[in-house]
Structure formats: structure tokens, C-alpha cells
């Protein structure tokens, strides 16, 4: 929502945006990797334009 990563990723994978956002939140809360993964994907999104 903030950087547009979930929407960009849903377009690439063909998944629902809500599922990707839930996956980011769950991975951030339980595994601690959601925030880092989100930032890495944001950089990939910027470089792919």
C-alpha cells in the first residue's frame, strides 16, 4: 500500500492483492522477514522500470 509492492507483485504473479498483503504481514509477525522482503522487492520494482 505504501510503496505499491503488493499490487506490483500481484500483477506479476496473477494473485490477489489481499493474499500478498496478508502474506507480508504474517511473515513479518511470525518470521521477521516480511519487512526486509518488502524492501528488497521495492528495489527490484524500481530497477525493473
Distance CA 8, CA 31 (A): 23
- Whole-model pTM over 0.85: no
Residue pair 22/31 in contact by the 8 Å Cβ criterion: no
What pLDDT, on a 0 to 100 scale, did the predictor assign at position 1? Answer: 64
Distance CA 23, CA 34 (A): 8
Distance CA 47, CA 31 (A): 27
- As given in the structure block, the three cell numbers for residue 28 are 513479518
Ramachandran region of residue 31, left (φ > 0), alpha (ψ -120 to 50) or beta? Answer: alpha
pLDDT tens readout for residues 1-49? 678 999 999 999 999 999 999 988 898 898 888 888 888 999 999 999 7
Amino acid at each position: 500500500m505504501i510503496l505499491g509492492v503488493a499490487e506490483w507483485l500481484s500483477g506479476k504473479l496473477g494473485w490477489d492483492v489481499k493474499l500478498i498483503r496478508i502474506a507480508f504481514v504474517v511473515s513479518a509477525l511470525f518470521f521477521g522477514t516480511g519487512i526486509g522482503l518488502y524492501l528488497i522487492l521495492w528495489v527490484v520494482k524500481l530497477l525493473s522500470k
